[in-house]
């Protein structure tokens, strides 16, 4: 399951009431089909702006389960992607310096069927598709966001 789905589930759980510990949260998520490690859970807690109170973890103010955790992928692509290069079933996206990782994370969170995975450096993202056809479809989708 995707990062966005996991984080949405965390917020939904916390809107029902505080959760005492990371271990308890990890157990509840496991029952809902999310196999998540402690490092990932800590990262989710930080990204979601959760607060640790006397009663346990609670959602920070202004955060609701319907809100996206990352800016939309179309916004990130529009702002940071400079070029799309196609090489068979691979796409190479050139971004402005320091922007590749947030763009790749947003793409991963979208859970697009054309994307097998992404690998991000500082200003370059490698996007892997199943085959040439899906890579072409994905290139058109991303180029459409740039227009």
* Chain segment 17-36, per-residue pLDDT in tens: 888 889 999 999 999 999 99
Here the CATH number for the domain that contains residue 15 is 1.10.10.10
Q: Would 33 be classed as within a structural domain? A: yes
The CA-to-CA distance between both ends of the chain, in Å, stands at 30
User: Can you point out the beta strands (E) in 16-75?
Assistant: 51-53, 56-58
pLDDT of 39 reads: 86
96-138: pLDDT as tens digits: 999 999 899 889 888 889 999 999 999 999 999 999 999 999 9
For the chain, the average pLDDT equals 87
- Asked if 53 and 80 sit in the same domain, the reply is no
Is the same domain home to 82 and 40?
no
């Amino acid at each position: 399951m995707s990062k966005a789905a996991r984080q949405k589930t965390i917020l939904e759980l916390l809107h029902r009431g505080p959760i005492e510990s990371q271990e308890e949260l990890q157990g509840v998520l496991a029952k809902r089909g999310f196999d998540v490690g402690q490092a990932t859970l800590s990262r989710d807690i930080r990204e979601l702006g959760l607060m640790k109170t006397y009663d346990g973890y609670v959602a920070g103010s202004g955060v609701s389960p319907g809100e996206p955790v990352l800016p939309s992928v179309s916004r990130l692509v529009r702002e940071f992607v400079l070029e799309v290069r196609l090489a068979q079933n691979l796409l190479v996206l050139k971004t402005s310096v320091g922007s590749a990782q947030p763009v790749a994370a947003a793409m991963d969170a979208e859970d697009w069927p054309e994307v097998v995975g992404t690998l991000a450096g500082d200003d370059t993202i490698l996007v892997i598709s199943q085959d040439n056809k899906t890579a072409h479809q994905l290139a058109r989708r991303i180029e459409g966001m740039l227009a």
